[in-house]
Amino acid sequence: MTDRYSDTGGGEDPGQKSLQSRTLGSGWCALQRGQKGKYIKHVAPARSLFTSPCLQKPQQSGSTKSAVTLRTRLLVSVAIGGAAVGTWYYLRREKEEKKKLDRIKQLQNMAVGQGDFNLLDHHGRPCSKKDFRGSWVLMYFGFTHCPDICPDELQKLCSAVSLLEKEPTVPSVLPVFVSVDPERDNVEALAKYVSEFHPRLKGLTGTPDQVKAVAQAYRVYYNAGPPDEDNDYIVDHTIIIYLVNPDGLFTDYYNRNKTDQEIAESVKKHMKTYKSIFS
């Protein structure tokens, strides 16, 4: 009996095709007669039966990945930079607060401006420390016969007051000049002298004992030098401008190196942080 599917067989099975194929998805599988009548099986890869190309996750391109990485790095850099700036600001503020507290403690230990005083103003009216209660005061000690330093310092003091007067929200500051030369600086001499600097500048004088008492209260050194042939003399004294708050308490001081602008700015800062001990 002849094998109808053998190598030597020349016919085909009537129930079969020479090429039998079956498709699966987009792939295919087939039996094909090759050389010498042998059948060769061909298989092509098929798409998954369960996954549609539309449902497959698209692959990210290299440029997209680079953009995401760059954005992440930028966000991390910004976060680190913000934290660094915040830390720096906090430490700086802590340092400034500590410096301020140390200065307040230093000023308190100086015990400047303690007690009351009784003098005469340039109008001849009695004046005491209580008369300045409720006002900010910039005070300077000097003498009317001073050739240069006193006029310069008084001019600077009054200029600082004028700068503060230009700001309507800033409380008024009273400029005060206390003479340490009671022998020559009487009421009349004071009235003429203070009128050359500022319309609100208040001049104060008194007896030698009264002047000595107020000078000691503010730690002011003064000493009259020997008179010359014209009976003129120079008074050596401390060159300091004092700031007194509305409670009558010494708050700060300014030496010759401070400008009028610096004094005005310092006064404004003290005003912002001021809290009355009587409230």
| Residue that the structure tokens 């109808």 belong to | 4
Establish whether 127 is an annotated binding residue. Answer: no
Alpha carbon distance 120, 110 (integer Å): 26
SS3 (DSSP) at 15: coil
Q: Which residues contact 112 (CB under 8 A, 6 or more apart)?
A: 217, 218, 219, 242, 250, 253
Alpha carbon distance 176, 178 (integer Å): 7
Establish whether 145 is an annotated binding residue. Answer: no
SS3 (DSSP) at 211: helix
Establish whether 150 is an annotated binding residue. Answer: yes
Cα-based distances in Å from 28 to 33, 35, 56, 176, 220: 16, 21, 22, 109, 111
Answer yes or no: are the C-beta atoms of 176 and 161 closer than 8 Å.
Answer: no
Give the residue ranges of the annotated binding site for Cu cation. 146, 150, 237
Residues annotated within the binding site are: 146, 150, 237
